[in-house]
Chain A
Amino acid sequence: MLKYTEDHEWLRAEGDEIVVGITRHASEQLGDVVFVELPDEGREVEEGEEIVVIESVKAASDIVAPVSGTVTAVNAALADAPGGVNDDPMAAWFFRIKPADGVSLDGFMDEAAYNELIG
C-alpha cells in the first residue's frame, strides 16, 4: 500500500526497503522537470536530509529522505530522461532506502489523508 509524506513523496514498502517517488500533484506543481540529481548509492542519510535535486523549467526543489537509512539504489534513467517524472510520476521512482530502524510506514499518510492535504 502506498503512503505519502507532507513533502509530497509517495512511499512503497518492498522487503526491507522503501521506494520513494513524488506524487502527481507535486509533479504538476513543479512543471516540466528538466534535471534530476540523485544521491550516490550506499550513502547514509538522515531523515529530512535533502538528497535529490529536481529542476523544472520554473525552479529548483529538493526531495528529502523520508527516514534515516542507507540509499540502496537510484533510478539512473531519470538523470537521462527527467521528463519521466511528469509523464508517469507513480512509476518514476527516485531511490530505494533501507531504513536504519526497519521498514514501518505507520507514521505516514494514507491516500485519503494525502488527498485531504492537497485539497
Chain B
Amino acid sequence: MDDLRRTPLHDLHASLGAKMVPFAGWDMPVQYPMGVLNEHLHTRAAAGLFDVSHMGQVILRGEGAAKALETLVPADIEGLARGRQRYGLFTNESGGILDDLMIANKGDHLFLVVNAACADQDIEHLRKLEAMGISVEAVTDRALLALQGPGAEAALDALVPGAAAMRFMDVADLEWNGIVLWVSRSGYTGEDGFEISLPADRAEDFARALLARDGVAPIGLGARDSLRLEAGLPLYGHDMSAEVTPAQAGLGWSIQKIRRTGGAREGGFPGAEVILPELGAATRARRGLRPDGRAPIREGVALFDAAEGGTEIGTVTSGGFGPSLGGPMAMAIIPADIPDDATVYAELRGRRVPVTVVPTPFVKPTYKR
C-alpha cells in the first residue's frame, strides 16, 4: 500500500471512517460508513461531496492553444467561448479513444481534466503541442472536489457567492477565504453540481466547510460509479478504450459539426479518416440494457441473440445495480441494428438471462442548463 498515492484529503477520509481501496495507483475512498447504496440515494436527494483529486489537471498556454489542441481532440475547441467548458476525447490513429477529458476556456489558458489512470500518458501525448509553441503544465499542487446533487447549488453558493449564477458547463474563478477556486458547473453523476479545483493545502478546510452545510455528505467511488452508470455516462477503460471508436462509444455528439466531414475545420485529428465516416453509420454502438429480474449483469458478461445457441453479440462493458432505478442496469457495445425494446440474452452463471435493450440514461439527468 506504501506506493499508492494519497490525495490532499487522505486524512479527512480516514477521520470520516472511509473504506480505502487502490484505484488507478491512488489510495481512494470507495465508501464511507453510510454505505454505497445510501450514498448514492443521498447524492440524488441532497448533495454528495466526492474527492476526485486523483484526476489529472493540466494547463495549456500559448498563442493558438485551442487550435493546437484540435490536432489531438476532435471537439470544436476554437469555438469554445471564454468561461465555458466542453467534453472531448483524445483519439488514436486507428480511430480508438485514448481518454476522455473536460476542456475549459479560461481566457488566457485552457484548463483540462483527464482520467487518473491515463494522466501520465495524456500529458506525454499533449507534449506534442510544445512543438507548436504551447506550454503543457501538469497541475500537481491542487485538489479536485465534486459537489453533486440538488443541494449542491445552495451549499456551494453559501460559501462562495456567485456559484448559483453559473449554468451547466460554465467555468469561473471564485474566491473563498483568500484562495481562488477554479469552479465548473459539471460533474459525472447526472446531477446538477460543480467540480472545484483548489490549492491542496486548503482542500481539507474547504471540504470540511462544505460537509458542515446541511445535506452535504461525503460520497465514495462506489456510489460515483452507480450514479454515472444510471446517468448513462461511459467510463474510460470500461465502456470506451483504444479499441472503441467515438461512434461505437455513443460519443459522436462530442465531435461538433465544424470538425466533421464538410465542416470548416474538418478532421485534422488522429484517426479522422476512420472516425468521421463512421458518425451516424456505426455498425456497433453502446446501448443500455435492463436485465429481467433483479440479478445484476456485470462487466465481461457475454451477450447472445438467442436464449439457446445463437451468436455472441458483445459483452457487458459496465453493469451493476441502480439504487435510484431500483434494479439492475448495464451498458454494452452491440450491433447497432438491434432495436430498442429488443430482447437479448446475458450468460450469467451458465444460464441465459433475458435482457431488454433500452436507451440511456436510465435515470434522467437534472443539469441546470
Contacts and interface: CB of A to CB of B under 8 A. Distances in A.
A79 B38 CA distance: 20
Nearest to B295: A35
Contacts of B222: 31, 57-58
B68 to A, nearest CB: 42
A55 B36 contact: no
B35 A55 contact: no
Main secondary structure of the interface of B (DSSP, over half): mixed
Given A55-B321, A57-B37, A58-B36, A35 B294 contact: yes
B349 interface: yes
Contacts of A60: 296, 298
B328 interface: yes
A44 interface: no
A55 B295 contact: yes
Given A53-B349, A58-B36, A34 B298 contact: no
Interface in A54-96: 55, 57-60, 79, 82-83, 86
A35 B320 CA distance: 11
B35 A53 contact: no
B321 A34 contact: yes
Contacts of B349: 53
Interface in A11-55: 31-32, 34-35, 37, 53, 55
Contacts of B328: 34-35
Contacts of A32: 35-38
Contacts of B298: 59-60
Nearest to B37: A32
B35 A34 contact: no
B226 interface: yes
B31 interface: yes
Interface residues of B, number: 16
Query: Which among A53, A59, A60 has the highest number of chain B CB atoms within 10 Å?
Result: A60
A55 B296 contact: yes
Interface residues of A, number: 15
A119 to B, nearest CB: 16
Interface string B22-38: 00000000010001111
Contacts of A53: 295, 349
Contacts of B226: 57
Contacts of A34: 37, 294, 296, 321, 328
Contact of B36 (A35, A57, A82): A57
B346 to A, nearest CB: 13
B321 A57 contact: yes
A37 B295 contact: yes
A35 B321 contact: yes
Contacts of B36: 31-32, 57-58
B320 A57 contact: yes
A74 B295 CA distance: 18
B35 A31 contact: yes
B296 A35 contact: yes
A88 to B, nearest CB: 15
Contacts of A79: 294
A36 to B, nearest CB: 9
Interface in B80-105: none
A59 B320 CA distance: 8
Contacts of B296: 34-35, 55, 60
Interface in B293-312: 294-296, 298
A82 B36 CA distance: 15
Contact of B31 (A31, A82, A83): A31
Interface in B4-56: 31, 35-38
Interface of B: 31, 35-38, 222, 226, 294-296, 298, 320-321, 323, 328, 349
Given A34-B37, A35-B294, 6 more contacts: A31-B31, A31-B35, A53-B295, A55-B295, A57-B36, A57-B222
